[in-house]
Amino acid sequence: MRLLLSKQTILIRLLSIALGVGLLGWLFDLTLEFLLVYQMVLVGWHYKHLFMLDKWLWRDRKLSPPAGDGSWQQVFDGIYYRQRKSRKKNKELRLLVRRFRDGAEALPDAIIVLTSDWSIVWCNKLAQQLAGLRWPMDEHQRIDNLIRNPEFQQFLQQKQFDSALELVSPLSDEVTLEYRVLQYGEKQYLLIIRDITQIKQLEQIRKDFVANVSHELRTPLTVLQGYLEVMDVDNMPAPPIWQKAHTVMLEQTKRMDALVQQLLTLSRIEAAAKVQFDAVVDVPAMLHLLEQEAISLNREKQHQLQFQVDPNLRVTGITEELRSAFSNLITNAIKYTPPGGEIQVCWQRQHQKALFSVTDNGEGIAPHHVKRLTERFYRVDEARTRSSGGTGLGLAIVKHVLSRHHSKLMIFSEPKRGSSFSFSLPPELVVGVQTQQQPKLPRKIKG
């Protein structure tokens, strides 16, 4: 515990010294002169310690106080004690501020601290990316002067922050941002900006999905309903009309069944958890069966089918899912390639990967369609797809199957010059072979 300076003690000490000096001066008959010298020495002693204090506070870099005499030492120690206490508090405050900023930087949202007049106090790095702020240049700038959107300015003026505001990003028209304001301390606000582009896209995909499924099912149901309404037990149509109606109803029923089956397949693949691929898939044998199916499907269009299959190349994976991927790509090529075209199916080793590709010389696909081909129910040509019996889900299934097998569908197409759909399975899924045999030569099949 530090002792406080006592006015009485100091006064007694000064008077005692002055009395002693005065008595000494009286002995020499120089009392006033001795007292004057004493005062000058006392002033000089105080100025000496003032200079020491000034040097310590403003020029020295030492934290420890200088060595003083008498009451000045207590002054030095008191200042040192206060400085040390202040430094400790400042360190704690800096640590708290650093923790706050580290936490704000770790958040997936943009954070901006504002005063009551909407001036910027602080923002994290994500705020600079989403809102285009510059830190620290924009410090103390009004946020409504930097985000010059009438809806945003009206949102701040009304101060009705129960609901969030959704606006297009000031940096990109393709990004949608959500603005939310919260009360933060006294006379301060916290502006939270969140990128909801993906959420909006998923919401739109969900709406499109429901609309597309409803549309796909409505058409065959309308056909069935129309035929059934004109039929009754007592008034059956003539045999030729009934045969036609029966054929149409059967086709529409098969179409609905195919749609439901593919929806169930897609749902099952999406909902399935990640699995370890321990089962060996005999892809060459699978492609041999698919080749026979392709020959049967190709009887009408008479394409030139060419299968190049490495008989020793096997992989680990989910057999039914891989078969669905292979079948969808081969079937699509047959359906959408004009009669008499050429289709090449290839299953070969590419370095340490297993490469599968289906290439045709058909009409090709425009670039703006290519990037959307794997979306559910997306069609390049509605009329052509419906006439071929497609559901618009095949490539979506392929995309999800390949994603579960750590691969990605690659699409290369050029109008009037054909298309190529390919993917490569990673080395960890490729089964090593003990003997290297020559792959079978390409087989050309017509019809």
**DSSP bridge pairs for 413:** 419
Grouped pLDDT means (10 residues each) for the chain, 447 residues:
68 86 86 89 89 86 82 85 89 86 84 92 89 89 90 90 89 89 88 90 75 72 78 72 80 78 71 69 93 88 90 90 90 88 92 92 84 75 52 80 89 88 92 52 49
Side-chain-side CA neighbours of residue 153 (13 Å) = 8
How is residue 286 written in tokens? Answer: 């699978």
Q: Is 417 helix (H, G, I), strand (E, B) or coil?
A: coil
Please state, in angstroms and as integers, the Cα–Cα distance from residue 6 to each residue in 3, 13, 41, 45, 291, following that order: 9, 11, 22, 19, 108
d(CA 391, CA 255): 8
Cis peptide upstream of residue 136 (ω within 30 degrees of 0): yes
Q: CA dihedral defined by 145, 150, 154, 156, rounded to 10 degrees?
A: -30
**DSSP code at position 142:** B
Q: Is 26 helix (H, G, I), strand (E, B) or coil?
A: helix
Residue type, 150: P
Residue type, 46: H
d(CA 92, CA 248): 80
Residue type, 377: F
Q: Give the model's pLDDT for residue 215.
A: 66
d(CA 446, CA 51): 107
d(CA 63, CA 76): 11
pTM > 0.85: yes or no: no
Q: Where are the alpha helices (DSSP H) in 238-379?
A: 239-271, 283-297, 319-336, 367-370
Q: Give the model's pLDDT for residue 379.
A: 67
Q: Which of 105, 149, 145 is nearest to 129 (CA)?
A: 105
Apex CA 420: angle with CA 414 and CA 421, to 5°?
A: 130
Residue type, 123: C
Q: Which of 439, 412, 416, 445 is nearest to 343 (CA)?
A: 445
**DSSP bridge pairs for 350:** 353
Q: Which of 261, 400, 275, 255 is nearest to 325 (CA)?
A: 400
Residue pLDDT, tens place only, 296-354: 888 888 889 999 999 999 999 888 889 889 998 998 899 888 888 899 999 999 888 99
Side-chain-side CA neighbours of residue 427 (13 Å) = 3
Sign of torsion, CA 47 48 51 52?
A: negative
Look at strands 410-414 and 418-425 and give their pairing.
Answer: antiparallel
Number of Cβ within 10 Å of residue 23's Cβ equals 11
Residue pLDDT, tens place only, 141-180: 999 899 888 999 999 988 888 889 999 888 888 889 999 9
Q: Is 409 helix (H, G, I), strand (E, B) or coil?
A: coil
How is residue 195 written in tokens? Answer: 């990128």
